[in-house]
Amino acid sequence: MSSGTLTVDTTQTPPGDWDAYVMGHSDASAWQLAAAVGIGTASFGLRSFFLGARDADGRLCGVLPVVEQRIVPWTRCLGSLPFCTYGGVLADDDAVVGALLQGVERLAAERRATRILLRHARHMPAISWAQSLDKVSMVLQLPDTIAELQKSLGSKLRSQIRRAERENPQVRIGGAELLADFYPVFCSVMRDLGTPVYPLRFFAAVCAALQSRVSVVVIYLGGKPVAGAILVQWRDGMEVPWAATLGRVKGMAINMRLYWELLQLALSRGCTSFDFGRSSVDAGTYRFKSQWGAKPEQLHWHCWSPAGADAVADQQGGRSRLELAVRLWSRMPLPIANWLGPLISPNLPW
């Protein structure tokens, strides 16, 4: 497709200069690297598309990765990007943004998709689609030293971290080799939250795609895993997309010890910020992250549908149905939830 002097190509394999463009763009995330875009393909067999805009000289001047899903309870969706908080358009200027939007709308028509969802971490004035502002990222700007970090937490939080020491927790930090210990904890917590769990192969695909950028942290009591997290480092920032602590050990402040370990690890890796992940404002997770000093950063998620404004209303109706499903799922026996979850999760819009 051409737009003036711009040409937009859509392929299912990334062009050779894709990663160089992503790594050189100030707004990029690790999830927009070619291998990370393919996580849905590697773990679920989903189609991944790479839209690249080129100028008259053939220079790559914008990219848009999208993954195709059959969304429950909706229909076919093109998302940039599912399974994570960040994605969307990376471009040199607004003209390139416009060309990429035309390209993805054309792809939606070809694929008979009824929704496009783009997840941006900043305001995108060149995008006129319906916008959702109900999510924020909770980000802590890190001090220079662990002593400064500890002092900034306040006496109540410090005492909770010390409370966990009575249980003699063991902490392991590694990579994919710890997934087998992290996963049962994650499964149990996701069931309690009413969320179908991703299969273990999904997290293995994340580790394979992002390699040294991924760390897995697991906390054990009596040799058994009770808490864990998966971390992704990008430039001088650390993000925790997935974390879980068994409910029975939260009274021992193991969840506080987990996050203290994550923050210390981020500092030791030279990070200047720690991203606790996305939340709805004033939700329980929002308040939990706020107590660590994290501040909200607005997320800008853009949605397109042939139905135009009706798409937002349809999405709200879908959310209502999902809320009912969440309540029912949280009451399901854990073995059944762990069996059904990996069959359903590839089609969820989280």
Measured distance CA(152)–CA(210) in Å, rounded: 32
Measured distance CA(126)–CA(54) in Å, rounded: 18
Map out the domains of the chain with their CATH numbers.
2-133+300-331 (3.40.630.30), 138-296 (3.40.630.30)
Measured distance CA(244)–CA(228) in Å, rounded: 6
Cis peptide bond prior to 82, omega within 30° of 0: no
User: 179-193 vs 200-210: helix axis angle to the nearest 10?
Assistant: 130
- Which pLDDT score, from 0 to 100, does residue 125 have? 94
Buried b (16+ CB within 10 A) or exposed e, 101-125: bbbbbebbeeeebbbbbbbbbeebe
Q: What percent of the chain has pLDDT over 70?
A: 86
Per the CB < 8 A criterion, the answer to whether 208 and 176 are in contact is yes
Per the CB < 8 A criterion, the answer to whether 67 and 37 are in contact is yes
Residues across the chain:
350
Measured distance CA(341)–CA(350) in Å, rounded: 13
Residues 6+ apart with CB under 8 A from 249: 167, 221, 226, 227, 255
Say if residue 228's pLDDT is above 60. yes
The closest of 39, 12, 28 to 211, measured between CA atoms, is: 39
Q: How far apart are the first and last CA of the chain?
A: 30
Q: What percent of the chain has pLDDT over 90?
A: 80
What confidence tier does 141 reach under pLDDT thresholds 50, 70, 90?
very high
pLDDT tens digits, one per residue of 256-303: 999 999 999 999 999 999 999 999 999 999 999 999 999 999 999 999
**How far does CA 71 lie from the centroid of its chain?**
17
